[in-house]
A and B are shown apart, each in its own frame.
Chain A
Amino acid sequence: MATLWTLQQLHYSPSFARKDSAKQLGCRIVATFYYSGNCWKRTSACKTHRKFVLRAYSHPPPVKSSGDGGGAEFDNDNKSVVPAVPDEAIMVNCNNNEYPQQKPKRPHEDMPQSLVFKLQATVASLPPVIFSMKRHFSASFTLGLCAAATLLLFVMRSYASRKSNHSRPGSVADLVRRGQLRSDRRGISTPLKYDDPFNNPMVKVGKSNSTVEMCGRVYKLAPVTLTKEQQAIHQKRRSRAYQWKRPQVFLKEGDSIPPDVDPDTVRWIPANHPFATTASDIDEDLAQNNVYQKHGVPFRIKAEHEALQKKLEALQNEQKLDKLVIDAGAAKDFERPFKSPLKAEDQIVDKGPLNGQMGSKQPNSDPVHKSHRSASEEMQNP
Chain B
Amino acid sequence: MISLQPLTNPKASALYSSSLIPPNPFFHSLKTLKPPTPYLKPFPRIQSILQYNRKPQLAGETPRVVVITSGKGGVGKTTTTANVGLSLARLGFSVVAIDADVGLRNLDLLLGLENRVNYTVVEVLNGDCRLDQALVRDKRWSNFELLCISKPRSKLPIGFGGKALTWLVEALKDREEGAPDFILIDCPAGIDAGFITAITPANEAVLVTTPDITSLRDADRVTGLLECDGIRDIKMIVNRVRTDMIRGEDMMSVLDVQEMLGLALLGVIPEDAEVIRSTNRGYPLVLNKPPTLAGLAFEQAAWRLVEQDSMQAVMVEEEPKKRGWFSFFGG
Binding site for B on A (CB under 8 A): 18-19, 22-23, 25-26, 29, 147, 151, 155, 188, 190, 192-207, 209-226, 230-231, 233-235, 238-239, 241-247, 250, 267, 269, 273-282, 284, 286-288, 290-296, 298-303, 375, 378, 381-382
Contacts and interface: CB of A to CB of B under 8 A. Distances in A.
A219 B321 contact: no
Given A231-B264, A287-B125, A155 B318 contact: no
Contacts of B125: 282, 287, 290-291
22 contacts: A22-B4, A151-B3, A203-B296, A205-B24, A209-B25, A212-B27, A218-B319, A218-B320, A221-B27, A221-B313, A222-B314, A224-B310, A226-B262, A226-B263, A234-B261, A239-B228, A247-B193, A273-B193, A275-B155, A275-B156, A292-B131, A378-B118
B118 A382 contact: yes
Interface string B218-229: 001101110111
Contacts of B264: 226, 231
Contact of B4 (A147, A216, A239, A267): A147
Nearest to A22: B7
A45 B17 CA distance: 35
B240 interface: no
B58 to A, nearest CB: 15
Interface string B273-294: 0000000000000000011110
B27 A198 contact: yes
B318 A218 contact: yes
Contacts of B102: 275-276
A223 B90 contact: no
Interface stretch (B72-80, B160-168, B206-214): B160-168
B243 interface: yes
A52 B92 CA distance: 68
A230 B292 CA distance: 34
Which 3 pairs show the lowest CB-CB distances between chains A and B? Answer: A234-B262, A299-B127, A242-B224
Contacts of A212: 24, 27, 315
Contacts of A295: 130
Given A209-B24, A298-B129, A291 B167 contact: yes
A277 B155 contact: yes
Interface string B223-238: 1110111000000000
Main secondary structure of the interface of A (DSSP, over half): mixed
A291 B23 contact: no
B265 A224 contact: yes
A291 B258 contact: no
A222 to B, nearest CB: 4
A154 B176 CA distance: 63
B224 A275 contact: no
Interface in B80-126: 87, 90-92, 102-103, 118, 124-126
Contacts of B320: 218
A243 B228 contact: yes
B69 interface: no
A235 B223 CA distance: 9
Nearest to B12: A19
Interface in B281-331: 290-293, 296, 299-300, 303, 310-322, 329
A237 to B, nearest CB: 8
